[in-house]
Every structure is written in structure tokens, then in C-alpha cells.
Chain A
């Protein structure tokens, strides 16, 4: 999904010279084509995220549509105040791309695990938040981000995600999207971890309805309420803390409406992931893989 997103950006930038791509000294091999063919629209700001984000605000003030490229928590937490005060408060056109959603960079260690970004970025007024599950969602996220005035954030996997939307199918990125139908139970997921929900569904003999929620902010409340109709409980699954992510968003909607629906949140349970390993391994270790979901579903 990372390469698909950058390809879209490259194509858009070819016909809009106000699009700027700014990297924090990352993207070797990924941004090469853009940098080579559109050098006037590219700059490596160096390893200096705070300055980079403040400059993005400045460039946007001069009429640029700035895309910031980095990984892990560097383009969010490291420069959070620049995002808040300089970019978002002034509603400037700054789009933030971070690669390494969840445990994509599992073996690199906790500094490179992205597990609280949705919570942190969603807390900022005016910042849209996207968490695509596959290439198709990443491409649609790009279009939506480009067309929006102001700040938007996208967390991307680093590659090799399964396609969950069959080639050519239409869907609305602003709404939760039904990926697998099922009778008894309901799970809402966000990001590439949806593959765990799909495999849980198989293990459960198909009795699990699976939705992908790519746009987390603004959330389409009506759509969520529609989906919840008739259910007594809903599972949420995300490669993110159980605090402030999809589970919290869904829980808030339910509480606000006073619905009698129980929310079972699967995600990182308010701890730091100090162990390393590959993405699949860490999902299992931290209780957010298909087996963990199956266990929860089978609980009465």
C-alpha cells in the first residue's frame, strides 16, 4: 500500500506543481522516482521533524500542498505541537504520511512500533485520520486527503498487505466497508490487521461479519449505528492501543446513544511493546491475532 500511495502522489504532483513532497531523511528506494523526476517539488528536510513540520506549515501558507513522508512516530509525536499550533490551528494544507502502522517494523523495537498514533492525532481538532487496510484503501485515502483543505494523517503498512477489496470494486472510503458477511457476530477492524479478522471468521465457520473502517476521523456515526443494529455485542480489532483508537471511537458512539451493546476491544492493552519480532508474532504475543479474536467470540 505504501508504494501505491506514493505512486498516486507522484501522478497528482505531475499535474499540480504546488504539491510538495518533504521527507525526514527517509524513503530510500521508495521516493526515488519522485525525487528524480520532480526535483522542484521534492526536498529532504534532514533528520529534523520539528523543523520539517513547522516548515510544512510555512510552505502551505505560501500555497503549497505539502505531503510529509516519514516512518514510525517521527512525523507525529516528535513534532506534535508543530502539527497542532502551526498546521492544524491554521487549517493549512499539510498531509502527513507515516509508514510502519502497528508492528510493521516489529523487529526494530518499540521506538518503531506505531501504537498510539490514532489516539494522538484524533485528539487534534480538524485533523482527519486514515488507516488503510490495503492498496485500494490507501489509494482512496490519498484522493480524500488531497481534496481536503487542512491537515490529514495516514498510517501505512510497509508493503505486502493482502488485497481485501477485489480489483475494480467501488466503495466509499468515508464509511465502514463490509468485507465479509456473516450471521451471528460482528467485528470492526482498521488497517491491515483485518487479515486476522478474516482468518478468525474462517475458524468460526463464517459466523462473523467483518468491516473495514479506514477513515477514523471524522467517523461516520450514522453508518456505525446502522451496522450495530440488531447486535448485542461488537468486537473491535486494531493494531493500536485499546485507548483512543477504533474501539474507543465505537464505544463512544454507543455510549452517546445509550445503546445496549457491549464493546469487546482487541488491541494493545495499555502497555509498551518491549518485545520484538515479526508482525504476525507480535500480534499474537499482544493478543490481537485471529486466535485471540476467536477466543473472545467464543466467550459467552
Chain B
């Protein structure tokens, strides 16, 4: 039994609370990745909770930083962040910015917010570790909209060139971005074929099924970087948010909050 199985619902509840209280945005983007981030931190990654900076730790970078609330929530559920910390999310004086921040936040590896950066940083970490024959894998999560950025593919080429088999990219494939459906903006059909063509070991899974996520993230991929195409739903977990672009921006006000809370509690 995976720990993440009992975590994901609570993570979504926490995300709802944080975003509601801070009158913040990007709830749909956070729900989209709640399962993936839970599996990563709870079941896949090796790290020492009491010594988070250990050199041989596995690391995770959230490249689509706007969904940072999901990461903070997972870290809270695992006892790495405190209740006070996540309650301060996006509030005056807090370190927990809307876009994920590592400054003063235990457990977060790297600050992001401008799309298309995290994957290059992850690539650099994986490369340095390989050069020094160091242990520990590097995981990085990008959005499918984020894959519009050329830098994503620049990193993809480099990782392939250098056989970075300590690097795993997860693409949160919810087929939406900021202004609407990706097919109407920059369409990337058959995105897994593209990653394969770039030389990556690629698997496609349901990004809301913890077992499938776990299996994909732990599969061997010697000599090649791994790309997990996670098919997801933006807003997953709350019926009226699912697949609705409004929840990229909108803050759940009183009524929406109550409805969402009810759905996440039942």
C-alpha cells in the first residue's frame, strides 16, 4: 500500500484551505499535480527528513511553479512544514510565495515561477551528479503548456546527449494552459512520441492513479533519461473545477469554497 493513497485527498483539502484563505489563484493547476507530488515525496524519493540537505538525497523541482501550493501541502502532510507555515501561504511577510519558493522553505529544492526554467536546472543537477558519480535521482515536473517554451526542448536534447539516466521529467498533461485549451493555442498531440523522438525513455500513464505513477517513476531506464507523460485533469477532485479554465485564476469564494470542501470531504 502506497502512503500517497491516503495522502492525496488531504493534500487537496490543504490546497483548498491555503488558496481560499490567501485569496490566491491557480487551484486547478495544483489539483492537477496533487497525486504526482504526493507519490514522489511519500513513496518514491529517498531523503532524510531530519537532514534534508544530505548530498545523496533525491531531489524534486516543480518547474510549473504556479502550482506551488500542492508542494507545500505535501510537505506539510509529511511533517516537513508546519501548520503555521502553510497558513502563511501568500500572506504578508511569508516565505511561501504563490510560485514555489525554496528561500526559507524546508523541503523545496528550487524557486521557480517563470516557466521553462526548472527543467534546465534539474538537468544541470543531474549532469553534475553524474560527473561526480554521485547518487540520488533528480525529478522535475513540467506543465504541458510549459512545453511551449523552447528551453524545455533544449534541456531535453542535452539530457539525451549525455544519457542522464538519473533524471526524470514528469509532464503534467492536462491539455490546458493559461488562456484555454492547448489544442487552440499550441497543440502538442502525441506528446509522448515527441519525447521518444528526442531520445527519452517515455511512458504514458494516468496521472491521478498513485500505483501507475509509482510504477512509472520507479521503472529502470539505464542509459537514458526518463519521461513520464501523466495524463491529468486540471482541477481534478472538485467536479465543477475539472477541465474549467476559470479555475486557473479564480479564487474559490464562499459558496465555491463550501461546495469544494464538501466534495473533498465526502
| Residues of A bordering B, CB below 8 Å | 23, 25-29, 44, 46-48, 50-51, 72-74, 78, 107-112, 274-278, 281, 285
Contacts and interface: CB of A to CB of B under 8 A. Distances in A.
B258 to A, nearest CB: 23
Contacts of B116: 47
A28 B248 contact: yes
B79 interface: no
14 contacts: A25-B178, A25-B185, A28-B178, A28-B249, A47-B145, A47-B149, A51-B150, A72-B114, A107-B97, A108-B98, A275-B93, A276-B90, A276-B101, A285-B93
Contacts of B113: 108-112
B96 interface: yes
A108 B97 contact: yes
B224 interface: no
B148 interface: yes
B91 A277 contact: yes
A47 B148 CA distance: 5
A25 B145 contact: yes
Given A25-B148, A109-B113, 6 more contacts: A25-B178, A46-B145, A47-B177, A275-B93, A276-B92, A277-B91
A44 B185 contact: yes
Interface of B: 22, 24, 65-66, 90-99, 101, 103-104, 111-116, 145-146, 148-150, 177-179, 185-186, 245, 248-249
A274 B104 contact: yes
Residue with the highest number of chain A CB atoms closer than 10 Å, among B103, B104, B148, B249: B148
Contact of A111 (B93, B111, B245): B111
A27 B249 CA distance: 11
A107 B101 CA distance: 12
Contacts of A29: 249
Given A25-B148, A275-B94, A277-B91, A109 B99 contact: yes
Contacts of A48: 148-150, 186
B177 A25 contact: yes
Nearest to B101: A109
A247 B245 CA distance: 42
Contact of B99 (A23, A26, A112): A112
Contacts of B150: 48, 50-51
A35 B51 CA distance: 52
Per CB-CB distance, the 7 closest pairs between chain A and chain B, nearest first, are A111-B113, A109-B97, A277-B92, A46-B186, A46-B148, A47-B148, A108-B98
Contacts of B93: 275-277, 281, 285
A47 B115 contact: yes
B249 A107 contact: no
B95 to A, nearest CB: 7
A114 to B, nearest CB: 12
A109 B111 contact: yes
**Most chain B CB neighbours (cut-off 10 Å) among A51, A111, A275:** A111
B120 to A, nearest CB: 13
B114 A107 contact: no
A92 to B, nearest CB: 21
Contacts of B111: 109-111
B99 A111 contact: yes
Contacts of B149: 47-48
A109 B98 contact: yes
Contacts of A74: 114
Nearest to B22: A107
Contact of A27 (B91, B99, B103, B179): B179
B206 to A, nearest CB: 25
Contacts of B99: 108-109, 111-112
